[in-house]
Structure 1
Amino acid sequence: MKIGIEAQRIFRANKHGMDFVVLETIRELQKIDQKNEYYIFVSPGEDKCLEESKNFHIIEINCPTYPLWEQIAFPRIVSKVKLDLLHCTSNTAPLYCKVPLILTLHDIIFLEPKQNDNKSWYQNMGRFYRRIIVPRILPHCKKIITVSYFERNRIQQTLQLPEEQIIAIYNGYSKHFKKIKEPREITSKYIQAKEYLFFLGNTDPKKNTPRTLKAYSLYLKYSDKKLPLLIADLKEDIINDILRKQKIEEIKPYLFYPGYIPNKDLPYLYNGAFAFLYTSLRESFGIPMLEAMACGTPVITSNTSAMPEIAGEGGILITPTSEEEIANIILELEKNSNFYQQQVAYGLQRVQNFSWKNTAQSLLNLYRQTVTS
């Protein structure tokens, strides 16, 4: 088979969730499949994180904007390669493409009502683009992959697609997320405290950042330890605005906000954290939960969408709209050492159910079935 994989953003320096999903999956496919021919389509970038191999070829396509790249430059190159199958990995695909298509649709959050106003121009434009493109390409997809059974059911019911068209393939986590004896050599670059709470927040409303900070302010009122909070991916002006609106500006001395944290440093920060807060309103999977579990860090996550499915029956599930509930469970972890150690052990066991090798093998099986059917 000649298989094309769209991996447009994997060479950019500041990678995010979907970028790591396709990058890690391709790396595993390189290990397990020496038979089929692969063509990986990317945009030029400074982080050459993927190397060619005997049957894996990287094709760089230069274009000024994502829509032009995907809708014009990309399909032109694809038509010249003469593929048996094209896999687009990041929710959207070319509207006009004669190659049999598999689409990874991570979620349909962009079709759902907004949780609240999002000031990010980039995120709003991405939402608008997906709302235009996705409904038009789904009927042309041989298969649609999503990342959890929650999301599979959500997509099927919302868009009234045939059940057999949609398949759930779980994500994995990278093996450099593991227990580390001396994380302080890296964590000290971001926060001086030996112990802290860790939260991955951004401006996306689904990340529930205002309520999480409000919950943290309640925690500070009743905690004897008063652990500081390390926040990734949020700039100071955004934090200041949230604190002002929530009327909790007094907690700012306890907050540390270094901005974007490189993936290579994240294992150290998970290891150094007392607990990891993943208090989103809506997720289709939740790779950071697996990363924290693999590092032996208890995870506090939400009882909504796909998060219970990934966290499992023994995970700590809270109502993300209840600041009191979030604060209380942090306090319980502080006060109850048995409960804390149970969560450490549970996470290390739970995470063994997920791997990028499993993801890649499921994907390869799907490629074979799609081409031969």
Structure 2
Amino acid sequence: MRIAIEAQRIFRPNKHGMDFVALESIRELQKIDRENEYFIIVSPGEDHCLEETDNVHIIEVKCPTYPLWEQVALPRVVSKIRPDLLHCTSNTAPIHCPVPLVLTLHDIIFLEPRQGGNRSWYQNMGWYYRRMVVPRILSQCEKIITVSHFECNRIREALQLPKDKITAIYNGYSEHFRPLSETLSITRKYIDDDDYIFFLGNTDPKKNVARTLKAYSLYLKQSDKKRPLLIADLSKDKLDAILREQQIEEIKPYLSYPGYIPNKDLAYLYNGAFVFLYTSLRESFGIPMLEAMACGTPVITGNTSAMPEIAGEGGILVNSLNAKEIAEKILYLEQDQIFYQNQIKYGLNIVQKFSWAQTAENLLSLYKTI
């Protein structure tokens, strides 16, 4: 087969979740499949993180905006290549696709009531673009992939899709997320303390930053340790606004907020952390949970959407709307060493269910059916 895969953003330096899913899946396909020919269609960028091989070709397509890139430039390239199928990896696809289409629809948050406000212009435009495009491409899709059984059922019901139209293929986690013995050389770039709490927050309301910071303020009032909090991917201005809004500005001396953290450094930061907070309001999967657990770090996560499915029955699940409950779980981990050690063992065990190799095997099987 000649298989085209849209991976528009994988060459950008500051990658996020969907970029890594596409990149790691392609890397594994490159390892396991020598029979089929792949055309990886990307936008030019500084991070050339994928190398060509005999049967994997990289095609860089330059275009000023994402909608034009996807709706005009991408179909033109596909028409020239004439592959047997096109796999679009990040929720949207060309409305007029010249070949059979496979779509990875990570979630349908854009069709659900919006949580919170103060979104960036970029986030707002993406939200409206997805609402416009997704309903128009569903009928063209030979197959729709999503990343958890929760999301599979949610999408099927919301969009009234036939049962055989959509399937769940789990994500994996990268092998460099593992227990490490030496971390200070990297962690000290981001936080001065070698015993801290770690939280991946950003401006997306589903990440639940305000309540998580409120929970941390409650933790500080009751803890003897008073471990500092490292927050990734959040600007100083946004953080200051949240602290004022929650009336918890007194906790700022305990916070470190370095902004975006490269993926290569995250393994060290997970390893150095006492606990990782993944207290989102809504997730379709939750790769950071796997990464932290694979590093031997306990995870506190939400009890909604796909998070219980990925964390498993033994995970530490909380009502993410309840700041007091989040604080209590952090304190419990601090006070009960047996529980803490059991969570380390539990996490290292449960992540064995997930791998990018398995993701790629499932993708290849699906391609063959088409």
> What is the TM-score with the length of structure 2 in the denominator?
1.00
Match of 1:72 in 2: 72
CA offsets, 1:21-70, max 9 Å, x none? Answer: 00000000001000100000000000000000010000000001100000
Task: Give the Cα separation in 2 of the matches to 1:115 and 1:86.
Answer: 33
Task: Give the Cα separation in 1 of the matches to 2:119 and 2:35.
Answer: 47
CA offsets, 1:204-242, max 9 Å, x none? Answer: 000000000000000000000000000000000000000
Match of 1:259 in 2: 259
Deviation at residue 97 of structure 1 after TM alignment = 1.0
Match of 1:22 in 2: 22
Task: Give the Cα separation in 2 of the matches to 1:124 and 1:354.
Answer: 33
Structure 1 SS opposite 2:231 = strand
Task: Give the Cα separation in 2 of the matches to 1:260 and 1:240.
Answer: 17
Contact 1:183 1:272 in 2 (8 A): yes
Task: Give the Cα separation in 1 of the matches to 2:268 and 2:18.
Answer: 22
Task: Give the Cα separation in 1 of the matches to 2:179 and 2:9.
Answer: 29
Write the letter of the residue equivalent to 1:176. H
Write the letter of the residue equivalent to 1:35. E
Task: Give the Cα separation in 1 of the matches to 2:188 and 2:86.
Answer: 44
Deviation at residue 118 of structure 1 after TM alignment = 3.3
Write the letter of the residue equivalent to 1:48. H
Task: Give the Cα separation in 2 of the matches to 1:47 and 1:231.
Answer: 24
Task: Give the Cα separation in 2 of the matches to 1:253 and 1:122.
Answer: 31
Match of 1:53 in 2: 53
Contact 2:171 2:359 in 1 (8 A): yes
Task: Give the Cα separation in 1 of the matches to 2:152 and 2:257.
Answer: 35
Deviation at residue 139 of structure 1 after TM alignment = 1.0
Contact 1:302 1:308 in 2 (8 A): yes
Write the letter of the residue equivalent to 1:85. L
Write the letter of the residue equivalent to 2:241. D
Match of 2:287 in 1: 287
Structure 2 SS opposite 1:170 = coil
Match of 1:232 in 2: 232
Task: Give the Cα separation in 2 of the matches to 1:7 and 1:169.
Answer: 17
Task: Give the Cα separation in 1 of the matches to 2:130 and 2:339.
Answer: 43
Task: Give the Cα separation in 2 of the matches to 1:127 and 1:267.
Answer: 31
Write the letter of the residue equivalent to 2:43. S
Match of 2:160 in 1: 160
Q: Tell me the number of residue pairs that the alignment of Structure 1 and Structure 2 aligns.
A: 370
Contact 1:118 1:124 in 2 (8 A): no
Task: Give the Cα separation in 1 of the matches to 2:100 and 2:139.
Answer: 12
Write the letter of the residue equivalent to 2:363. L
Task: Give the Cα separation in 1 of the matches to 2:268 and 2:104.
Answer: 30
The correspondence of residues 15-164 of structure 1 with structure 2, limited to 5 A, is 15-164=15-164
Deviation at residue 19 of structure 1 after TM alignment = 0.3
Deviation at residue 119 of structure 1 after TM alignment = 2.5
Task: Give the Cα separation in 2 of the matches to 1:233 and 1:306.
Answer: 22
Task: Give the Cα separation in 1 of the matches to 2:206 and 2:163.
Answer: 27
Structure 2 SS opposite 1:320 = coil
Write the letter of the residue equivalent to 1:224. D
Deviation at residue 300 of structure 1 after TM alignment = 0.2
Structure 2 SS opposite 1:103 = strand
1:338 aligns with 2:338: yes
Deviation at residue 169 of structure 1 after TM alignment = 0.1
Contact 1:118 1:204 in 2 (8 A): no
Deviation at residue 184 of structure 1 after TM alignment = 0.6
1:174 aligns with 2:180: no
Task: Give the Cα separation in 2 of the matches to 1:338 and 1:356.
Answer: 32
Deviation at residue 277 of structure 1 after TM alignment = 0.1
Write the letter of the residue equivalent to 2:280. S
Task: Give the Cα separation in 2 of the matches to 1:267 and 1:116.
Answer: 31
Contact 1:179 1:294 in 2 (8 A): yes
Task: Give the Cα separation in 1 of the matches to 2:119 and 2:56.
Answer: 40
Structure 1 SS opposite 2:131 = helix
The correspondence of residues 203-214 of structure 1 with structure 2, limited to 5 A, is 203-214=203-214
Deviation at residue 120 of structure 1 after TM alignment = 1.3
Deviation at residue 257 of structure 1 after TM alignment = 0.2
Match of 1:348 in 2: 348
Task: Give the Cα separation in 2 of the matches to 1:343 and 1:135.
Answer: 42
Contact 2:91 2:105 in 1 (8 A): yes
Deviation at residue 128 of structure 1 after TM alignment = 0.6
Structure 2 SS opposite 1:34 = coil
